[in-house]
Amino acid sequence: MSLLIVGCSSDNHGPVDADPYPAQIAIKVVDAAGNDLFSEDYAGCVDKANIAQSITYEYGGKTYPLNFDLKQDCPEIESDKVPNLYVFHGLYLPASWDEPVSGPMLFGEFDGGENQHEKVVINWPDGTSNTVEFKSEALRALTTTEISVDGSPWQKTFEVTFIK
């Protein structure tokens, strides 16, 4: 009689996502009092429509407007064994089912099954700009994403906040 035991060895890198989660970062924009500039309730000097219309971003050598009219549709998947699919939307304000578009802005999606190192320049309505870089490891986008803003030291996070 024989016994065969099959298992996975432990590694020092932590758990691996079975279905790679798409790599993307969140970019919050608040005023000095901490109010979200993309909130439906915001009533400051810049409203959501005006700030969204005047934000552009540079990626891959080209300049694009903020994608603020996006409705995300989930692809129909017949089995939960199909890996998560990613769709590159650029810099965008997501809309959930039956809800208005709101912040934070997102930059992505990128293939979570691959190592990522991406850079985007955000051009703000006040004439300033910020360079945001992010990197993540393949199959571990949720746990390894790091962000650097304008050459600052890398921070382990998937969200950055700007005060405007």
Residue 13: its pLDDT value, please? 54
Chain centre distance of CA 12? 26
Residue 160: enclosing H or E segment and its boundaries? strand 159-163
Q: Please tell me the distance from the alpha carbon of residue 110 to that of residue 24, in angstroms, as a whole number.
A: 6
Lowest mean pLDDT among 34-48, 85-99, 106-120, 140-154: 34-48
pLDDT-derived band at 151, boundaries 50, 70, 90: very high
pLDDT-derived band at 98, boundaries 50, 70, 90: low
Domain boundaries, the chain: 23-71+85-163
Runs of H (alpha helix) within 55-156: 141-144
Residue 20: its pLDDT value, please? 79
Bridge-partner residues for 117, per DSSP?
135
Respond yes or no on whether the N-terminal peptide bond of residue 109 is cis (omega within 30° of 0).
yes
Residue 161: enclosing H or E segment and its boundaries? strand 159-163
Q: Please tell me the distance from the alpha carbon of residue 92 to that of residue 65, in angstroms, as a whole number.
A: 9
Is pLDDT larger for residue 13 or for residue 40?
40
Q: What is the number of alpha carbons within 13 Å of residue 80 lying toward its C-beta?
A: 1
Runs of H (alpha helix) within the chain: 48-54, 141-144
Taking a C-beta distance cutoff of 8 angstroms, is the pair 101, 79 a contact? no
Burial class (CB in 10 A: 0-12, 13-18, 19+), 59: middle
